[in-house]
Amino acid sequence: MKYITTNDCAAGGVNMAYPFKDARLLEYGLLIYDSAGLPVQKAFSTSAILYNFSVILVIKGNIQLKVNECSFSLGEQEVIIIPPSSVVEMVGMAAEGRFVSLYFTYDYLKRYSIEGKYFSLSGFIREGVLTSQQVEDRDFGLLLQLLAMLQHLDSGNLNEDDAAIQVNLFKSFLLKIKHYYSESALDRKITATVVYRFHKLLSENFTRYRDVSFYSKKLFMNEKYLSQLLKKKTGKTARQFIIDMVIAEAKGQLSDHAISVKEISGRLNFSNEFHFSRFFRQYVGTSPTQFRNKEIRST
């Protein structure tokens, strides 16, 4: 393990914004970076691929980052776990902000029998959905103490006992975070986040994209999981939401008699009027023209 500060980064020519590029990660297996003293004006602009695991804990202020094009604003006492192969961009940090990042390899987890009991991949990472968690005051204080002890033990010449203590401190850190990524707590947050983001994406794109795959890719999850999650939370699948949105918009535009059916089909991105009419009839039971005529008679 190696505990690295911004002074170490400056001396070694390492960009603190992207410490996961540090070659020492392969040597030590676990690197801990402390951003204390990092100038706010340091540009966080270039995205990079994270090839190993990362846990980021905000100590003070807030930081903004993007992971796989999803934006996160992390406040004090918030933690996020980022899996390998993620595209990460550190966007910015508040004045006097401070965060600690732990970067570790899967080989390190296996070497010290951490994977499973202390760090379950399936528990921390659910269907590729990332969430941040707010750490309670008491647990936050304990995490800070663990980090301080890890820093104290940072030495190139640890004896066998100190090396074992170091590994166990890291295990304790992961165990404390694991509590916030329990299945029930994580599922509630994932569900709320995904439902909101799906509705936002749908409202912005339903006239152009009617395939569930478009929305699942944007949300970085598979189609089946997205539909199952929406069905469980709302009673409707992703496909049903898309259809309902398109039909509602079509009905609204059909109520404006100045717009032709052909024009409406173009606005809703159907290849032609025939395909639009077939789609409308399938889910409404009448053709667009029949629906419009019925509306006229009822007014």
Alpha-carbon distance of 167 to 112, in angstroms, equals 8
Judge whether 2-180 and 188-298 match in fold: no
pLDDT in tens, 8-65: 554 444 444 445 555 677 677 888 888 886 554 443 445 666 778 889 999 999 999 8
Write out the two tokens for 70.
């999803």
pLDDT at 43: 37
pLDDT at 186: 54
Backbone angles phi and psi of 61, in degrees to 5: 70, -145
**Does 216 have pLDDT greater than 90?**
yes
Alpha-carbon distance of 212 to 13, in angstroms, equals 45
Alpha-carbon distance of 239 to 209, in angstroms, equals 11
- Higher local confidence (pLDDT), 183 or 252: 252
Lowest mean pLDDT among 2-6, 15-19, 152-156, 269-273: 15-19
Q: Give residue 184's pLDDT band: very low, low, confident or very high (50, 70, 90).
A: low
pLDDT at 179: 80
> Residue ranges of the domains in the chain?
2-180, 188-298
Alpha-carbon distance of 61 to 42, in angstroms, equals 16
Lowest mean pLDDT among 152-166, 168-182, 255-269: 152-166
Lowest mean pLDDT among 69-78, 108-117, 144-153: 108-117
Strand partners, 53: 104
CATH code for the structural domain at 2-180: 2.60.120.280
Mean per-residue pLDDT of the chain? 81
Q: What is the mean pLDDT of residues 103-108?
A: 86
For 188-298, which CATH superfamily applies? Homeodomain-like (1.10.10.60)
Whole-number percent of the chain with pLDDT over 90 = 37
Whole-number percent of the chain with pLDDT over 70 = 77
Write out the two tokens for 218.
């944007």
pLDDT at 12: 46
| Highest averaged pLDDT of the listed ranges 33-47, 127-141, 155-169, 228-242 | 228-242
pLDDT at 17: 45
pLDDT at 42: 46
